[in-house]
Amino acid sequence: MRRSVYIRICVAAVLLLLPLLLAALLSSDRLATQLDQRNLAPGLEHLFGTDWLGRDMFTRTMKGLALSIGVGFLAAVASGLIAGSLGLMAATLGKTVDRIITWLIDLCLSVPHLVLLLLISFVLGGGVKGVVVAVALSHWPSLARLMRAEILALKASEYVLVAKQMGRSAWWIATRHMLPHLLPQFIVGTLLLFPHAILHEAAITFLGMGLSPHQPAIGIILSESMKYLSTGMWWLAFFPGLCLFVVVRAFDMLARSLYQFVDPARFQR
Amino acid sequence: MRKKLSKALVGSLAALIILAGCSESRGSLDNAARSTTETAEQKQHLILAIGGEPDEGFDPTTGWGRYGSPLFQSTLLTRNSELEIEEDLATSYSVSKDGLIWTVTLREDVKFSDGEPLTANDVVFTFETAKGSQSVIDLTNLLAVTAQGDYTVMFELQAAQSTFVDVLTTLGIVPQHAYSANYAKQPIGSGPYKLVQWDKGQQLLVEQNELYYGDKSPFTQLTFLFLAEDAAFAAAKAGTVDVAAIPSSFSTQQVSGMRLEALQTVDNRGIMFPYVPAGSTTEQGYPIGNDVTSDPAIRKAINIAIDRQLLVDGILEGHGTPAYSISDQLPWWNEATVVEDGNSEAAKQLLAEAGWSDSDGDGILDKNGLAAQFNLLYPAGDALRQSLAIAVADMIKPIGIDIAVLGKSWSEIEPLMHANAVMLGWGSLDPLEMYHVYGSQFAGVGYYNPGHYTNETVDQYMKQALAATDEEQAMELWQKAQWDGSTGLSAKGDAPWAWLVNIDHLYLVNEKLDIGQQLIHPHGHGWPITSNIEQWKWME
């Protein structure tokens, strides 16, 4: 059981590190237009073929994935921090704060995700910055709600009440009793934000949002490939789409395996 | 949680697919069925996917048909496939010796599609309305237009204007009695077809105008589908349209039952540079000028570093020609404007002489702390302009100029176009366009001269050319405006633009459809391909 979890974690980690490594190793020169090499089907020279401007699709896909993973990382960490602190504040700072934060969570959850992403990105003027901030600012609500509920449940648990009655300080209770219980939940919850963030990065770049067509981003690659699908250039969409799917699944697998690792009992339940 | 994620995955993919679908297949293919059932009978109904839906509607007084062939309306004069002037609504016209008075006599048998006769009053009304509309039609030189009886019109100009004849060939006549604020959506005219229904963003249905005075087309009904380029190509492949405009990237594909027609044009694409340094703003508060592109060395270096033939071969699949000016091959074009291009060494030398160097070693030139970087905007939905922009940016990078390529909507481009380079296109059969695009008095007027180019000598040449009453003299002056040996508006002179390519208009046409002898096509906007629709034939 433990071994298979280890194996899955390793496979997922390799799948995630590979595009990062390749993106760093592959020369940016292969992103430049090579008009005499255009529309080539996949082959040894160009593993994923070339596009209508002769750009190497393998390089574009790997750099695009690296950007997606980067955005996913930034967004997940930022969302995790927001969710953690808001969840904590809601659960500990009294009813008024709790009401405001719960209202904020409900508000964000009530707006369709993609619309919220577009709005934030648009307000920030688009570009990579807009995409990162939009994804970061739109993924925290569900985790914040989870953290709030966990803390409220913990506050009412017997061992915390006993500790309180024995005169332990709030800080002592928070660090000794609450944190060890909350941290695994928090880390796994944050990890599970990754695949969502990556998919949403792809979706929002698919819609443009001020990114340059020079920028190798998976969403841009996919949306541009749509124009050329009817000419039979299937490789423009197939490989980048497949790679995106693999990366998202790998993140999902990693998070799940870690979850199983830190809290096997809960996972089996 | 696992279920939730799979749901999110599926949902996101579905959203992507739906969104892709929306962007692709604007417009309906409902007519497909109609087209196929009809082929058995006498073919009278054509389905065309040739793009060019005019957002502002079909009112000639605000710009519809400004490149000719207004379809619903007819013009006083017209140009044949050899670009020679012929009478249309007019039976004759004459110009006074000083070039100030133009007199046009009208046909007496013309009726609008609602049955009312077309008279001199309608012509007067049309020109007065167009003049008052402050639109792209420039009639500032028109002092007065008066009806002399029912069928004679007299135009009085402030100054002689050799290009006034082009206004007479492009401005469609609208009916005074049926003109209202809604006219652009429900046009009535004396042209070969009348509008039946316009579903904006989808399709336009038109049928033959029974009262049309000219030769009638064998096709009684036309449906224009407004499809994106790839959707038009897919429709052609499926056999659901008779004519489809396609981008050059699709031209290498064989489509059964269709043939490829590559029609010669003066439709060009080029990069417009902000000509003045940054600092000022337009009346609306939009920034004007750019410190990098205002340096002539930058503009000239780009002009000589670009390999135009490679762009034609690589992006247009050979269906086009290198462009060196706004009017290549036209009678007023100056051949001396052709620069030797594809020469990055000469470009580098030019930049070095102007004081640009890579002092911080990042591969991008700089001068007094200013890096040689600027944005190049293009309309996001236009695959050709996007490809050109990306390819040019990559061609220019080795000489040390960094161009950031950005796709925007036209409404986003408008506030930005005075301070950023833009991939624009022009191409008219009228030299007046050169005056609009390069004349200092048109700086910042609509899409004319957004880079605020000014050169007094060039202005003088163009004004003299407009005022010339002798055709040959006018041509010589237009050519001097481009390059007179020491200055000019071309790449040899001030280089406010880097022209790239003239594009052939590519259509997939049903093998059985003969589209006649086509004239040299101007820049899009409107349907130059249908200007000779009375010559079209179906051959069983």
Instruction: Answer yes or no: is pLDDT of B38 > 80.
Output: no
Task: Say if B324 is an interface residue toward chain A (CB within 8 Å).
Answer: no
In this prediction, residue A131 carries a pLDDT of 83
Does ipTM top 0.90? Answer: no
Put simply, the answer to whether B405 touches A38 (Cβ < 8 Å) is no
Q: Which of B80, B69, B46 is nearest to B513 (CA)?
A: B46
For residue A167, give how far its alpha carbon lies from the nearest alpha carbon of chain B (Å). 39
Query: Percentage of chain B with pLDDT > 70?
Result: 91
In this prediction, residue B526 carries a pLDDT of 57
The CATH architecture of the domain made up of B68-186 is 3-Layer(aba) Sandwich (3.40)
For residue B486, give how far its alpha carbon lies from the nearest alpha carbon of chain A (Å). 36
- Kindly report the number of other CB atoms within 10 A of residue B459's CB atom: 17
Q: With the CA atoms of B509, B201, B521 and B390 taken in that order, what torsion angle do they form, in degrees rounded to the nearest 10?
A: -100
In this prediction, residue A152 carries a pLDDT of 86
Residue whose structure tokens are 């190509």: B233
**What's at B309, amino acid-wise?**
Q
Find the mean pLDDT for residues A232-241: 91
In this prediction, residue B19 carries a pLDDT of 43
Instruction: Answer yes or no: is pLDDT of A267 > 60.
Output: no
| Cross-strand pairs, B49 | B244
| Cross-strand pairs, B223 | B47, B205
| B15 confidence band (pLDDT: 50, 70, 90) | very low
Instruction: Answer yes or no: is pLDDT of B531 > 90.
Output: no
Closest alpha carbon within chain A to B408:
A210
Among A114, A212, A232, select the one facing B405 at the smallest CB separation: A212
Q: Hey, of B16, B18, B24, B251, which one would you mutate to test binding to chain A, going by the most A CBs within 10 A of its CB?
A: B16
| B28 confidence band (pLDDT: 50, 70, 90) | very low
SS3 category, B176? coil
Within this chain, domains B25-52+192-263+505-540 and B68-186 share the same CATH topology: yes
Instruction: Answer yes or no: is pLDDT of A60 > 80.
Output: yes
Find the mean pLDDT for residues B127-148: 89
In this prediction, residue B133 carries a pLDDT of 85
Instruction: Answer yes or no: is pLDDT of B447 > 50.
Output: yes
Mean pLDDT of chain B: 88
In this prediction, residue B7 carries a pLDDT of 53
Put simply, the answer to whether B16 touches A252 (Cβ < 8 Å) is no
Residue B390: its chain A contacts at CB < 8 A? 33, 53, 213-214
The 10s digit of each residue's pLDDT in B495-527 is 999 999 999 999 999 999 999 988 888 886 557
Find the mean pLDDT for residues B151-176: 91
In this prediction, residue B369 carries a pLDDT of 92
| A1 confidence band (pLDDT: 50, 70, 90) | low
**Residue B287 contacts by C-beta under 8 Å, 6 or more apart in sequence?**
B278, B280, B281, B418, B419
Q: Hey, of A56, A227, A257, A269, which one would you mutate to test binding to chain B, going by the most B CBs within 10 A of its CB?
A: A227
Instruction: Answer yes or no: is pLDDT of A43 > 70.
Output: yes
In this prediction, residue B33 carries a pLDDT of 42
**Kind of pairing between the strands at B221-225 and B45-49:** parallel
Put simply, the answer to whether B393 touches A214 (Cβ < 8 Å) is yes
Are the CB atoms for B357 and B366 separated by under 8 Å?
A: yes
Type and span of the H or E element at B379: strand B373-379
Instruction: Answer yes or no: is pLDDT of B22 > 80.
Output: no
Are the CB atoms for A192 and B1 separated by under 8 Å?
A: yes
The 10s digit of each residue's pLDDT in B331-376 is 899 999 999 999 999 999 999 999 999 998 999 999 999 999 999 9
In this prediction, residue B395 carries a pLDDT of 94
Among B9, B252, B407, select the one facing A208 at the smallest CB separation: B407
Phi, psi of B186, rounded to the nearest 5 degrees: -130, 70
The residues in A 168-227 lying below 8 A from B, measured between CB atoms, are 192, 195-196, 199-200, 202-203, 206-208, 210, 212-214, 222-223, 226-227
Among B5, B383, B394, select the one facing A32 at the smallest CB separation: B394
Instruction: Answer yes or no: is pLDDT of B476 > 50.
Output: yes
Radius of gyration of chain A (CA): 22
| Cross-strand pairs, B101 | B156
Among A53, A192, A200, select the one facing B390 at the smallest CB separation: A53
Residue A202: its chain B contacts at CB < 8 A? 12, 16
What angle is formed at CA A228 by the lines to CA A200 and CA B414, rounded to 5 degrees? Answer: 70
Residue whose structure tokens are 């704060």: A97
The 10s digit of each residue's pLDDT in A256-266 is 888 777 766 65
Task: Say if A36 is an interface residue toward chain B (CB within 8 Å).
Answer: yes
For residue A169, give how far its alpha carbon lies from the nearest alpha carbon of chain B (Å). 35
For residue B488, give how far its alpha carbon lies from the nearest alpha carbon of chain A (Å). 32
Q: Check: CATH 3.40.50.970 for B25-52+192-263+505-540?
A: no
| B470 confidence band (pLDDT: 50, 70, 90) | confident
B472-501: burial string, b at 16+ Cβ within 10 Å, e else: eebbbbbbbbbbbeebbbbbbbbbbbbbbb
| B36 confidence band (pLDDT: 50, 70, 90) | very low
Put simply, the answer to whether B5 touches A228 (Cβ < 8 Å) is no
Instruction: Answer yes or no: is pLDDT of B21 > 50.
Output: no
SS3 category, B214? coil
Q: Alpha helix (H) ranges present in A29-94?
A: 57-92
Residue A54: its chain B contacts at CB < 8 A? 314
Residue B131 is encoded by which pair of tokens?
A: 């003049």
User: How far apart are the C-alpha atoms of B268 and B264, rounded to whole Å?
Assistant: 11
The secondary structure of residue B270, as a DSSP letter, is: E
Closest alpha carbon within chain B to A38:
B314
**What's at B179, amino acid-wise?**
Y
Type and span of the H or E element at B6: helix B2-24
Higher-confidence residue of B11 and A151: namely A151
Put simply, the answer to whether A230 touches B310 (Cβ < 8 Å) is no
Put simply, the answer to whether B12 touches A36 (Cβ < 8 Å) is no
The residues in A 37-76 lying below 8 A from B, measured between CB atoms, are 38, 52-54
- Residue ranges per domain, chain B? 25-52+192-263+505-540, 68-186, 266-503
Higher-confidence residue of A203 and B223: namely B223
Are the CB atoms for B187 and B54 separated by under 8 Å?
A: no
Among B5, B15, B233, select the one facing A114 at the smallest CB separation: B15
Mean pLDDT of chain A: 85
Q: Alpha helix (H) ranges present in B133-161?
A: none
Put simply, the answer to whether A192 touches B253 (Cβ < 8 Å) is no
Residue B440 is encoded by which pair of tokens?
A: 């200092």
Residue A8: its chain B contacts at CB < 8 A? none
In this prediction, residue A150 carries a pLDDT of 87
**Kind of pairing between the strands at B370-371 and B366-367:** antiparallel
In this prediction, residue B14 carries a pLDDT of 47
Put simply, the answer to whether B314 touches A208 (Cβ < 8 Å) is no
Put simply, the answer to whether B315 touches A195 (Cβ < 8 Å) is no
SS3 category, B368? coil
Put simply, the answer to whether B230 touches A229 (Cβ < 8 Å) is yes
The 10s digit of each residue's pLDDT in A169-202 is 888 888 888 888 888 888 888 888 888 888 888 8
User: How far apart are the C-alpha atoms of A30 and A60, rounded to whole Å?
Assistant: 8
Are the CB atoms for B93 and B105 separated by under 8 Å?
A: yes
The 10s digit of each residue's pLDDT in A212-232 is 778 888 888 888 888 788 778
| A268 confidence band (pLDDT: 50, 70, 90) | low
Find the mean pLDDT for residues A39-51: 91
Query: Percentage of chain A with pLDDT > 90?
Result: 17
User: How far apart are the C-alpha atoms of B537 and B540, rounded to whole Å?
Assistant: 10
SS (H, E, C) B301-325: HHHHHCCHHHHHHHCCCCCEEECCC
For residue B316, give how far its alpha carbon lies from the nearest alpha carbon of chain A (Å). 11
What fold characterizes domain B266-503? Dipeptide-binding Protein; domain 3 (3.10.105)
